[in-house]
Amino acid sequence: MFKWLRRRSAIDPLVESDARTFIERYGDDAYLEARLRQHDDASIIDGNRPPGHWESVKALIREKLERR
């Protein structure tokens, strides 16, 4: 339990925000959309995210969708 709590407190607010937005907008396809963003990072509007951002978003989306 404490491991999960530490992990939650370490989540970047931007990652949390993007993950939540993707789940609201794309539902069960949110993970796929984050994967596409990660792949096309340089050519998308919000490509100004830090390195590894979409990987983190993808992992958080997977975690949130598994808990549903």
Flag whether pLDDT at 26 surpasses 80.
Answer: yes
Tokens of 41: 């990072």
pTM for the whole thing? Answer: 0.74
Name the burial class of residue 38, with classes exposed (0-12), middle (13-18) and buried (19+) by CB atoms within 10 angstroms of its CB. Answer: middle
User: DSSP string of the chain?
Assistant: -HHHHHHHHTS-HHHHHHHHHHHHHHGGGHHHHHHHHHHTGGGSTTTTSPTTHHHHHHHHHHHHHHH-
pLDDT of residue 20: 96
Mean pLDDT, residues 44-60: 80
Flag whether pLDDT at 55 surpasses 80.
Answer: yes
Q: What percent of the chain has pLDDT above 70?
A: 75
Look over the chain and give the mean of its residue pLDDT values, rounded to a whole number.
81
